[in-house]
């Protein structure tokens, strides 16, 4: 790995981790709160991050400024993996990026969830569940010999789709108000978080493609690389691996500067749930070929149909598990 790759990956990771921590950005919170407390504040931060990145990537790729890789549409793997990831992130108490930034803040439960996430990835990638992954990925859908996108599946110029979606979602966000989620210690409002994360996502595409990676922010592959190195000694460290390390350091710096850094250990049962949820989340991410970042932000910016289907699966899985864990139990207690 060259010096520029190291520096550029680290710089993007530091910015990413800082923004995640200051915005308390977690897709688990965003998806779950719509159902549980009827609050779409964090969901709107996610939506804004998606459309900012989508518009930027559409323009840059349309002008041949940078090449992009579109995640494949393994329909069965995207559906099953997305559902599993959504279930796992609610159990773990955070998505992959939310888990990593909370590790930087000093949360022991998130650290155990991250360990479970890495082990779950390896379990599906090269362990006992690899045959399941292979079966679910056996049918890949192409459109005209190319990876399926939201544009080519309906025969429309990608530029139109990649700008029309941000425009429509942007109008919805603008008309939706400011939200009611409160942020501690001067944390960022949802619109600042969403815009910052979208801009960092564009920077990630540019930085990563400049060293031949042709993709933006992702979590599953880079975390897999670190766990492979730790458990087998195989060294495949690259831009993404350095970015993940920078993410955790960036979150640590943000929490330290704003006096939110402290070691927190939940009760034993919650620790076990976090670890188990991390495993389920990791298996789902590996089977689907990505997580809430690789699919639901970066893949969506490339208009990947597989990423759109995976995102729907994550949302539905999160809602099912949120209902089982929280809503049903609260209803039983109030009865």
Mean pLDDT value of segment 64-69? 93
Angle 190-209/239-257 helices, nearest 10 degrees? 150
- pLDDT-above-70 percentage for the chain: 95
Which residue did the predictor score with more confidence, 334 or 206?
A: 206
Q: Distances in Å between the alpha carbon of 279 and those of 102, 132, 148, 291, 316? A: 17, 15, 29, 13, 19
Q: Is the pLDDT of residue 148 over 80?
A: yes
First-last CA distance in the chain:
60
Task: Give which of 241, 213, 216, 240 is closest to 226, Cα–Cα.
Answer: 241
Extents of the domains making up the chain: 3-334
135 pLDDT above the threshold of 60? yes
Q: What integer pLDDT is reported at residue 177 of this predicted model?
A: 63
State the average pLDDT over residues 235-254. 97
Per-residue pLDDT tens digits for 267-295: 999 999 999 999 999 999 999 999 999 99
**Residue 334 reports pLDDT greater than 80:** no
With a CB cutoff of 8 Å and minimum separation 6, the contacts of 117 are 92, 96, 99, 223, 278, 279, 281, 282, 285
Q: Which of 96-110, 124-138, 166-180 is predicted with the least confidence, judged by mean pLDDT?
A: 166-180
Q: What is the pLDDT of residue 2?
A: 85
328 band by pLDDT with thresholds 50, 70 and 90: confident
Of 22-26, 226-230, 272-276, 330-334, minimum mean pLDDT range: 330-334
Q: Calculate the average pLDDT of the chain.
A: 94
Instruction: Indicate if the pLDDT at residue 184 is higher than 50.
Output: no
- Is 220 a residue whose pLDDT tops 80? yes
Half-sphere exposure of 89 (CA within 13 A, CB side): 32
Q: Output b/e per residue, 120-154; b: 16+ Cβ within 10 A.
A: bbbbbbeeebeeebeebbeeeeeeeeebbbbbbbe
Give the whole-angstrom CA distance, residue 312 versus residue 176: 21
Report the SS3 class of residue 58. Answer: helix
Rounded distance between C-alpha atoms, residue 250 and residue 244, angstroms: 10
Average of per-residue pLDDT across 4-32? 96
Name, in order, each residue with C-beta under 8 angstroms of 226's C-beta and a sequence gap of 6 or more.
118, 237, 241, 244, 245
The residues that bridge with 264 in the sheet, in sequence order, are 107
Q: Is the pLDDT of residue 102 over 50?
A: yes
Quick check: 71 and 294 in contact, CB under 8 A? yes
Q: Is the pLDDT of residue 240 over 60?
A: yes
Q: What is the rounded distance in angstroms from the CA atom of residue 12 to the CA atom of residue 24?
A: 18
In the chain, the percentage of residues whose pLDDT exceeds 90 is: 90
Strand partners, 107: 264
Rg (Cα) of the chain, in Å, rounded? 19
């Amino acid at each position: 790995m060259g010096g520029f790759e190291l520096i550029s990956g680290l710089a993007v990771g530091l910015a990413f981790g800082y923004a995640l921590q200051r915005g308390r950005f977690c897709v688990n919170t965003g998806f779950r709160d719509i159902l549980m407390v009827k609050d779409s504040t964090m969901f709107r931060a996610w939506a804004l991050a998606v459309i900012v990145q989508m518009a930027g990537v559409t323009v840059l790729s349309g002008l041949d400024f940078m090449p992009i890789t579109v995640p494949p549409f393994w329909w069965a793997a995207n559906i099953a993996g997305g559902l599993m990831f959504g279930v796992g992130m609610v159990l773990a108490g955070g998505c992959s990026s939310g888990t990593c930034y909370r590790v930087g803040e000093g949360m022991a439960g998130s650290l155990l969830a991250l360990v479970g996430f890495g082990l779950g990835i390896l379990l599906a990638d090269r362990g006992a569940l690899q045959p399941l992954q292979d079966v679910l990925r056996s049918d890949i859908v192409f459109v005209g010999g190319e990876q399926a996108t939201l544009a080519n599946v309906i025969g429309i110029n990608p530029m139109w789709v990649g700008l029309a979606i941000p425009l429509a979602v942007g109008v919805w966000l603008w008309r939706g108000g400011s939200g009611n989620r409160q942020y501690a210690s001067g944390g960022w409002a949802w619109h600042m978080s969403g815009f910052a994360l979208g801009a960092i996502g564009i920077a990630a595409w540019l930085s990563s493609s400049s060293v031949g990676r042709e993709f933006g922010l992702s979590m599953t592959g880079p975390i897999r690389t670190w766990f492979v190195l730790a458990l087998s000694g195989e060294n495949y460290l690259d831009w993404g691996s350095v970015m993940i390390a920078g993410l955790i350091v960036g979150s640590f710096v943000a929490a330290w500067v704003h006096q939110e850094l402290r070691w927190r250990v939940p009760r034993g049962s919650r620790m076990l749930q976090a670890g188990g949820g991390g495993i389920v989340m990791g298996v789902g991410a590996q089977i689907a070929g990505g997580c809430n970042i690789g699919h639901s932000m970066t893949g969506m910016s490339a208009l990947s149909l597989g990423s759109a289907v995976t995102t729907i699966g994550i949302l539905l899985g999160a809602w099912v598990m949120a209902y089982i864990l929280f809503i049903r139990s609260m209803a039983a207690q109030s009865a």
